[in-house]
Amino acid sequence: MNTKKKFVGEGFDRIDGLLKVTGAARYSTDFPVQNLAYGVLFKSEIASGKISDIDTVAAEKSPGVLTVMTHKNAPKLNERGGLRGGAFLQSPNIDYRGQNIGVVVAETFEQARAAARLIKVSYEAAEGKVDFEKLAGTAIPSKNPGIADAVRGDVEAAFTSAEHKIEAVYETPIEHHQPMEPHSTIAVWEGENVTLYNAAQMVNAAQSATAATLGIKPEQVRIVSPHIGGGFGSKGGLWSNIVLTAVAAKMVKRPVKLALTRQQMFNSVGLRQRDRQKMRLSATKDGKLTAVAHETVTHTAIRDEYIEACGDCSKIMYDAPSSLITYRHVPMNIIIPTFTRGPGKAPGSFALESAIDELAYQLKIDPVEFRLKNEPAKDPSNGKPWSSRKVVECLRKGAEIFGWNKRKMEPRQVRQESYLVGYGVGCGTYPARQRDTSANIKLTRNGNEVRASVELAASDLGTGSHTIIAQTAADALGLEVPKVAVKIGDSTLPPAAGSVGSVGAASFANAVNDGCEKITDELIAKSGKQFFVRPTAAQMMISENLTEFQTRIDAKPPANVNDYSIHSFNANFAEVLVNEHTGMVRVPRFVAVTGAGNILNPKTARSQIIGGVIWGIGMALTEESIVEPRYGNFITRSFADYHIPANLDIGDIETVFVNEDDKIVNKMGVKGIGEVGIVGVAGAVANAIFNATGKRVRTLPITPEKLLL
């Protein structure tokens, strides 16, 4: 038994690591299902209009084909059931290029794919809205109250009268999720109940949305998702492919596996939308901000709306008496955008942190000092006190580690052979929240050996949920980590928050900790004894000669959390080398300092931050999805043309967590880090490029031609 050692806060190895490196961890298409058939999607080749005819005869006669499902024979589904993106084969209407228009099911994947190529589709094409450049001027306000304009003070008066100000437009392109595990499903029906092996960041939400779309009860749907090969938001809200797999399986009366191809990932599961952000900042000559205006124009789908909250960082990062945050959007014939790592805050922080850097340079104030001068004592957007805020510590610690004092104010002052060297800083934030989560805690004893099983419908995207749950339970029960079994990723387990929006770790760990405290209290009460020193649950199992005992907890966030502004914060420092002759940019060194409450496992937390930094570097330098402006198709459809950073593109990344004991956010003081790791990174890289070259590039990605022009 463990009566003294603490595992929470230690860099503990992943308990599921051996399963993963040996190939034993089961992802959505790895489950051994008998009599399996294979589905393949086929998709629209126009962006707008309708299908006038669809000829499936040749495909249906093709060897091995079991069925071809189109809008002509698909069952009636509830398109508003909660799944995303439409494309449920409910009508001949086409809203975007790449929309699902059918599924071929065959004995083998190869047979299904070959048959899909035999299908002939005729269209009545309409003029599509696919050119953002032409449509941006027609943008309209959002109908979503959560994306309403936010006005504080008088920005226009402050900006007009200011001695020092900047006004600039920053653009971020469409980006795509491309997790290692593409979206995929195995559907197995038993009578009127269906089991879906499907990667889901929110297991219970996937269950309820799928059930609502199919028109059956939630208890008739089981979602099994013990391991997820990455999601980054795209598996937070599930898409039509999951329900089409279920429908196909019911049609052929046998299990069906349907996995998206890498190219299909670009037009099936959403994207990060293109954002055009106008920034206006004004300040006094001594560097105090007087106004911050952040006005975003973006796009959404023709029939549905999703808008990234790009102005969220601008609301709270810096102290300014006047603020304006607005959103305008244009409906377009492109798949609906969706949650993407650091939604809103990642592109929004690029604009804000770049503008802050520009104004600091105009004022001839060090960018770190400028940020420190404008540190708010409370949340500027609502006047609430911070539960805790470590921006100052992050900036000072990062500057010390990075060697910021060596930075030159003027650009183009430092060289290494043919490279110009630059240093940049950018800050970021993301809300920290705990969500309702339930868990079963089960104890068993064999002799003097006590073991625990922890069960909840949590999820693990590869972030380490299994491990932090085991660490938390081991500490709270008085056991060693190997004595704790963790079962997650199944909708038959107690409902839990999802691994989205940086709520997973806080929700899972606090629920498990509360459950372990509850089972200990119940064991003590059952014994009828009093103790000078509180015993552990493991000790009670032995002393009371119990062979098994269990309880359930239904944990909720603290009652007073809405009285505070609760966020994780960071400071990012980038060093860049820019080849003066080719314009190629390298990032040999990056320091990320994060204030995110109690760090449950520094080892897995470090991996989270590194992943966010790498994606942020990709956002700054390489990632861009390009829409062909006549036909609405993505001309970047593979890793040959959609460029993500590879190992040789990334230099040394140092991650640092500042001590932060937040007594308000939740009992364990846990804040999220999955989202905040990417926020502020692109801004830091862009600012470093300016310091190296003297060229301010306001449109991402910063590719060589933009630096050579």
Q: Where are the alpha helices (DSSP H) in 403-536?
A: 465-477, 504-527
> Strands 322-332 and 449-455: what pairing?
unpaired
* DSSP 8-state assignment for residue 243: H
Q: Where are the alpha helices (DSSP H) in 386-503?
A: 391-402, 465-477
Provide the pLDDT for residue 3. 59
> Strands 256-259 and 437-446: what pairing?
unpaired
Residue type, 208: S
Which residues sit opposite 41 in a β-bridge?
A: 103
How far apart CA 674 and CA 464 sit, in angstroms, is 11
Tokens matching residue 688: 């470093």
Which residues sit opposite 322 in a β-bridge?
A: 291
Q: How far apart are the first and last CA of the chain?
A: 67
Look at the block and give the residue holding tokens 């709306």. Answer: 305
Could you give all domains of the chain from N- to C-terminal order, each with its CATH number?
17-25+434-556 (3.30.365.10), 37-127+184-230+235-266 (3.90.1170.50), 338-432+564-708 (3.30.365.10)
Query: What's the pLDDT tens digit per position in 64-111?
Result: 999 999 999 999 999 999 999 999 999 999 999 999 999 999 999 999
> Strands 120-125 and 49-55: what pairing?
antiparallel
What is the crossing angle of helices 240-252 and 203-214, to 10°? 50
For the chain, percent of residues with pLDDT exceeding 90: 98
Calculate the alpha carbon distances from 230 to 13, 338, 431, 565 in Å.
Answer: 19, 15, 21, 29
Band (pLDDT 50/70/90 cuts) for residue 570 is very high
How far apart CA 211 and CA 188 sit, in angstroms, is 14
Find, among 624, 560, 522, 558, the residue nearest to 174 by Cα. 624
Provide the pLDDT for residue 1. 67
Look at the block and give the residue holding tokens 């900036």. Answer: 395
Give the 3-state secondary structure of 42-89.
EECCCCCEEEEEEECHHHHCCCCEEEEECCCCCCCCCCCCCCECCCCC
By three-state DSSP, how is residue 168 classified? strand
Find, among 31, 61, 295, 275, the residue nearest to 174 by Cα. 275
Put the strands of the sheet holding 120-125 in their side by side order. Answer: 93-94, 49-55, 120-125
Query: What's the pLDDT tens digit per position in 131-171?
Result: 999 999 999 999 888 899 999 999 999 999 999 999 999 99
The pLDDT of 356-361, averaged and rounded, is 98
Provide the pLDDT for residue 146. 87
Active site residues: 675
pTM as predicted: 0.97
Residue type, 587: V
The pLDDT of 50-59, averaged and rounded, is 98
The pLDDT of 584-602, averaged and rounded, is 98
Query: What's the pLDDT tens digit per position in 469-505?
Result: 999 999 999 999 999 999 999 999 999 999 999 999 9
Contact in structure between 404 and 368 (CB atoms under 8 Å): yes
